[in-house]
Structures are given as structure tokens and as C-alpha cells.
Amino acid sequence: MSPLLDVQNLTVDYLVPGRPVRAVDNVSFSIDAGEIVGLAGESGCGKSTAAHAILGILKPPARITGGRILFQGRDLVGMDPAELRAFRWRHVSLVFQSAMNALNPVLSVGDQFVDMMRAHEPLSKREARERAGELLQLVGIERSRLKSFPHELSGGMRQRVVIAMALALRPELIIMDEPTTALDVVVQREILQEIERLQQELGFAVLFITHDLSLLVEFSRRIGIMYAARLVEMAPAAALFARPEHPYTLGLMRSFPDVTGERVVISGIPGSPPDLGSPPRGCRFHPRCTRVMERCGVVEPRLLATAVDRCVACHLYGESA
């Protein structure tokens, strides 16, 4: 069965004067229908840029300069803007990190729903409002809140509203870009449980983007790790947690102290992410890698399969290993 979303060799450049900066470098991954896939990485790794590229909402000077994005077989790269606008939100939608980025502070919640739905479908105001009420109930908010303004809602409720908006047209894929980072830990768990429930009920696929790897391990089926614009590892969540292959993944996991068990010193990863304007030669992680070899500074490792559903871009595995 062909995947729902198939990203092939996606490359996004920031076309600034001088040399363009490559924010996403030859990234390929796929998502099956109804699957939850996580994309983890720190700031500057390109995960948000990739998400925006999939939705076609890159802001200049960012441009897709290579690759294909196949959604149900159709290539999104090169679609004309009108087609893309029709496609966006109906098939793929986005939940932003901060709800206040997505919600208009001067319109009531109900008005925003109505606006959005009528932009995509021929509905009367009353029908749209009716649907909006249903959507709010779906995410666990009382219908009466349609009259409220965003600032009158708590952070968690706002995020639910944003999720409801993303669900409005029943898309097949919802991309969530750090949807719970700005929320308190208790609310975060509630929202995640809510998303899980909705996902099971409605069957949409999720691309969950976050820097919080521990969250992904609990929540997603497969996880991709990005570093400095590249995809460096991809594996099922349980396998990744049990046996991370890429040294960066290992380092990332060692950056989360445990809440149970003995207290031991953990060290994170020394150094900082590279300057994308002039990245290191060879493997981009090698200056910070504890298992660096001579080859790493010379040749870029390719993404190779190490098991039927795992791949990693590291010289420790693959041809030379």
C-alpha cells in the first residue's frame, strides 16, 4: 500500500544574498495513513522548515529547491497557488506551537471557525456555526465558548481550539509543530491524550514535530531524528528507545534526566549545533561526536537501512562497518 505522504529528497534553501543557506538537505521519509510519526531535533535542524514546506507556507527568502512531496500520489511541489490553497487544510492541516500565533485576538472563536470553513466550503453562516459547535465538543470544550475571545480562554483550551480548527475539514494528515511546548506539563499530557483519542476516532495521520524526544517515544509509532538540516536516523519508537544507533540520538536521550531510579550524572552533548551557512565537512555531527572516526570528517554518511524498518546515516553502520 502506498504511503499517504511521501517526501523524497526534499531540499529547502534560504536564498539570501551571497551563498544560499540550506535549511533542509535531501530529506526523505514517508507517513502511512493513520500513522503517528514523530520528527525530533533541536533548533535549527530544519524540522519546522520541512513542515512548512509540506504545507507550502514557506516565507521568503525560503524556497523549495529540490525534491518531491507526494501526497496520495500528487506532487505538491510545483502545484499552482490556487490548487495548493484548495488542497491545504482539506487534506493536510497544521497546528502551530503557540495558539496565539494561529488565533486572531480580535475575533471570537466562533467567528474564526466560520471564516475558515466558509473559505473552503459553500456553507451558510448557521451551518458553519453548527459545525463549529460540533468541533468544539469533539475536543472537549463547551459550545457556549464559541462566543469567547482567545484571551478569555486558558492556554490549554486555546490549543484545543487550534486543534479543532485543524480538524475542521477532516484532513488525512495533521502536522503538529511543537503543539504542547508552551503548555504546562499536566495540560500537555491532557492535550496529548486528547489527540490520541481523536486520532483513534477519526483515523488521521499525524506528523508530530518536537524537541522533546521523551514525549515522542511515548506517543508516536515511528520517530525521525533531524540534525543540521539532515535526517540522521529513523526507527520505530520502541526500537529507537531501546537501542539508539546514531550517536546524536544517544546523546539526545541522555539529555533527559529520569524521574525514577538512581541519580547519575548525565552530560548531554558538548558543543552547539553548527552554523548552517558553513556546516562542517563530512558528517555534520562529527565535531560533537563521542565516537568520531577519521572518515567522519571527510565523507558524508548516507542514510542506510540497518534493519527492515530502521535506517541511520552514520559511518558506524553501513558499508564500511
Partner 1 sequence: MALPQPASSIELPAAPGGTPASGRYRLGGRWSTLAGLWDILRGNRKALVGFAILVGFALIALLGPLLAPYDANKIGVGLPSQSPSAHHWLGTTRLGQDILSQLLAGTRASLLLAVSVGLLATFLAMAVGLTAGYIGGLVDDVLSLLTNVFLIIPSLPLLIVFSAYATAFNLRGWWIMAAGITITSWPWGARAMRSQMLAMRNKDFVLAARVTGESWIRIVRAEILPNMLSIVAANFIFSCLAAVVAEAGLEFIGLGDTSRATWGTILYWAQGDAALLQNEWWWFMPPGLAIGLFSTGLVLLNYAIDEMTNPRLRSERLYRENRQARAAAGAEPRTPVLDDVSTA
Partner 2 sequence: MVAIPTSLRNEAPVILEAEHVSRHFSAGGSFLPWTHRGVVHAVDDVTLQLRPGRITALVGESGSGKSTVARVLARLYPPTTGRILFQGENVLTWRGRRARAYRRQVQMIFQDPFSSLNPVKRVEYVLSRPLLVHHIVPAHRVRERVHELLTTVGLVPAAEFAAKYPHQLSGGQRQRVAIARALAVEPAVLLADEPISMLDVSIRMGILNLMLDLKQRMNLAFLYITHDVASARYVADEIIVMYAGHVVERGETLTVLRAPQHPYTRLLLSAVPNPAAGLTRQRLEGRGEVRTIVDPPPGCRFVSRCPLAEDVCARTTPELVESGPDRWVRCHLYPRSTGPQGRVSHD
Interface residue list for partner 1 (CB under 8 A): 13-18, 21, 23, 42-45, 47-49, 53, 55-61, 63-67, 76-79, 81, 84-85, 88, 97, 177-178, 181, 211, 272-273, 275-277
Count interface residues toward partner 2 (CB under 8 A): 44
Q: Is 193 in the site for partner 2 (CB under 8 A)?
A: yes
Residue 130: CB minimum distance to partner 1, A: 27
Among partner 2, partner 1, none, residue 270 binds (CB under 5-8 Å by kind): partner 2
Residue 289: CB minimum distance to partner 2, A: 12
Residue 228: CB minimum distance to partner 2, A: 12
Residue 72: CB minimum distance to partner 1, A: 18
Residue 231: CB minimum distance to partner 2, A: 17
Query: In terms of CB distance, is 61 or 203 closer to partner 1?
Result: 61
Residue 189 CB partners (closer than 8 Å, separation 6+): none
Answer yes or no: are the C-beta atoms of 42 and 226 closer than 8 Å: no
- Residue given cell 477532516 in the structure block: 170
Residue 187 CB partners (closer than 8 Å, separation 6+): 155, 156, 159, 180
Query: In terms of CB distance, is 147 or 254 closer to partner 2?
Result: 254
Q: How far apart are CA 212 and CA 18, in angstroms?
A: 34
Among partner 2, partner 1, none, residue 277 binds (CB under 5-8 Å by kind): partner 1
| Radius of gyration, alpha carbons of the chain | 21
Cis before residue 20, ω within 30 degrees of 0? no
C-alpha cell at 47: 524540522
Answer yes or no: are the C-beta atoms of 140 and 160 closer than 8 Å: yes
**Quick one: 300 exposed, middle or buried, by C-beta within 10 A (0-12, 13-18, 19+)?**
middle
Query: In terms of CB distance, is 260 or 278 closer to partner 2?
Result: 260
Q: Which of 73, 261, 308, 321 binds partner 2 (CB under 8 A)?
A: 261
Give the number of C-alpha atoms closer than 13 A to the C-alpha of residue 34, restricted to the C-beta side.
6
